Amino acid sequence: MEREKQVKILHISRTMGQGGAEKVVFQLCKDILNVESYVASTGGEYVNELSKIGVKHFFIPDLEKKDPINLVKTFFALNKIIRKNNIKIIHSHHRMAAFYVRLLQFINSNLVHIYTAHNVFFDKKKLMRFALSKCQIVGCGKTVVDNLINYYEIKKDSVQCIYNSIEKPKYISKCNDFSENDILIGCVGRLNKQKGIDIFIKAMNVVVTKYPKIKGIIIGEGEEKKYLENLVSSLNIQEHIKFLGYRKDVFSLMNAMEFVVLPSRWEGFPLVPIETFSLGKTIIVSDIKNNLEIIKDKFNGLSFKKDDYDDLSKKIIELLCDVDFRKKLESNALFDYVNNYSYEVFLNKYLDLYTLNQ
């Protein structure tokens, strides 16, 4: 029996490719009942997945391009989608998406706008304050909420926190990419400066001298891929670092790892630790405030000094050496996932927000 659909939501994201915000959008479309979802973006890997669950995707120009022609094209493309599909609620997941929705409210006076901040920023204060001036605001973590209140001077009672979460897989296939003798650890994320994959590679250059069977798995695509491949070649550790690109079986690969590493230089509210916790695995993260909102050092994971590959290498070796300590971290990590980052709570809070505005 087809589920009853009462609320129409248009999600606007810059892309629907790999990334935490894009995953959140897909999950909201897939698993919130009584909602008819639409998505507008430049496209990406999730477009095909949206089609499989019956969610209409609209291709729009790149929100980041701010030339006058692109601005006009994007505005009218979004307005056409709203009018044709009788959209009353828009959920934006990008700062420029929020800006367009505020403009659209001038000619669609009853349009309800919900904005989720997926990252912290320290620029474009006037643009953000304008974009969010007639909007219900969600921060995906406490550090993101604090950024909105303290830097953008958004009123405290105008922002609520809904932790991003992920659905724990019901079944995880066995990973057949590597030998059973390989010791696997890895990174998941875009290959760009933010994610600090270069720090992981440099740390691995130290670790391989002690653990010659170790392999560092890098899952993702991005603009720094060639630079990172050249870095691996220059260190002569090609046998120890494997670039797997974009993969749909991320959970299978993560489940085969001893633990995960997140060496980010900055974050919003990262999903990788939550994914790791859901598998009963632990993680090493850079000691930026946003990571430490989730990771409690020596309780459910370890932290290292941001940009310090030598410190990261020591933490990797520590977890590889002390299996009992690692198992303790894993147990606490799984407890945190179940009790603090529930997928059901995440879905229900957004459903409440949608139904209150229908």
- The residue that leads in pLDDT, 2 or 332, is 332
Query: What integer pLDDT is reported at residue 5 of this predicted model?
Result: 57
Going from the C-alpha of 108 to that of each of 78, 105, 235, the distances in angstroms are 11, 5, 57
Q: How far is CA 112 from the centre of its chain?
A: 25
Which pLDDT score is estimated for 2? 47
Q: Domains in the chain and their CATH numbers?
A: 7-165+342-356 (3.40.50.2000), 183-340 (3.40.50.2000)
Q: Whole-angstrom Cα distance, residue 342 to residue 116?
A: 18
Q: Average pLDDT of 45-53?
A: 96
pLDDT in tens, 253-269: 999 999 999 999 999 88
227 pLDDT higher than 60: yes
DSSP 266: -
Q: What is the mean pLDDT of the chain?
A: 94
HEC assignment per residue over 204-249 = HHHHCCCCCCEEEEEECCCCCHHHHHHHHHHHCCCCCEEEEECCCC
